[in-house]
Structure 1
Amino acid sequence: MKKDIQIPKVEGVYLAIVNEYNDIYKTHDWNAYIINDKDVDLDIVLIVTSGYSENKMTSIFRKKLDVLPKRSYAKIELIQEELFALNNEFKVTFFQGNTMFEKNFLFRKNSINEKAFQKIPLMETKGVLVK
């Protein structure tokens, strides 16, 4: 029975962490974004995030987006630099039509840094990207 369950592969959905200037507080902040590079809208997007290492674990953060339009992105959360020393996992579940998709995105510890910057799809900026 378990072998009969089909889990479709997620393509065209990415997670990015970007360093941005905050005009209000005059600081540079690290923000996590979900990117929909597909030609269809994503419905009921659920994101569960946590950070962990061998001996530390952050609290769990949950975010829901009713719709993530095609070829768009949305800010998930602000990430403090202290968390870069942990593995940061983003579990994403969404519907595309009547089909549910699920994917785990992992930013490994110490992988969020300016040396890892690359062009981020749709955002016209650079950051750390996980596909």
Structure 2
Amino acid sequence: MIKDLPENRVEDIAVAVALEKESAETKLWYVYLINLKKEAIENVLITSKGYGEKDGEPVKTSVLRHMFPVVPSNSFVLIEPIDEQTFGLNNEYWISYYIGKEIFDKKFIFLPESIVEMHFIKLPVVNKPGVMIK
């Protein structure tokens, strides 16, 4: 039965962690969904969670869910703020959306310690420094 499902490839969609503000004592980070397509995506559902190990013990964060009715072409939406303390975990964002009547979905996972300055780029559309998975 699974072989009968269409293989809808997710293309031109990205998840990015951007450095919003920085002061001497703190940094403010946000996670964005970036739609690089030439068309809008609709009924966007995003689940986010963190998991991994800290001090030899398994750690899990709460699962958060976000819904956006429409993300226009060549635009972005703010998914959530992210705490720097979770950068040592796997940070997973599972994105599902529709284009017309077709559904697409993909998991984007920021691996532990991958959100670091040496991986920064200028994020397209958002125009801020950050790390992006496409």
State the TM bucket, normalised to the shorter chain: over 0.9
**Counterpart for residue 10 of structure 2:** 10
Identical-residue share of aligned pairs (%): 38
CA distance in 2, matches of 1:42, 1:107: 23
The offset of 1:119, in angstroms, is: 2.1
Aligned-residue Cα RMSD (Å) equals: 1.5
Aligned length: 128
- Matching of residues 49-68 of structure 1 within 5 Å: 49-54=48-53, 55-68=58-71
- Matching of residues 51-90 of structure 1 within 5 Å: 51-54=50-53, 55-90=58-93
Pick from 97, 100, 114 the counterpart of residue 117 of structure 2: 114
Q: TM-score, normalised by structure 1?
A: 0.93
The offset of 1:115, in angstroms, is: 1.2
**Counterpart for residue 130 of structure 1:** 133
Residues 76-107 of structure 1 deviation map (CA, whole Å, 9 limit, x = unaligned): 00000100010000000000111000010000
CA distance in 1, matches of 2:35, 2:70: 10
CA distance in 2, matches of 1:77, 1:106: 15
CA distance in 1, matches of 2:26, 2:43: 32
CA distance in 2, matches of 1:60, 1:5: 27
Question: Does the aligned pair in 1 maintain the 2:37–2:73 contact within 8 Å?
Answer: yes
**Counterpart for residue 21 of structure 2:** 21
CA distance in 1, matches of 2:71, 2:132: 18
The offset of 1:120, in angstroms, is: 1.1
CA distance in 2, matches of 1:28, 1:53: 23
Alignment of 1:97 onto 2:96: no
The offset of 1:27, in angstroms, is: 5.4
Structure 2 residues without counterparts, runs of 5 or longer: none
CA distance in 2, matches of 1:7, 1:62: 24
CA distance in 2, matches of 1:41, 1:86: 31
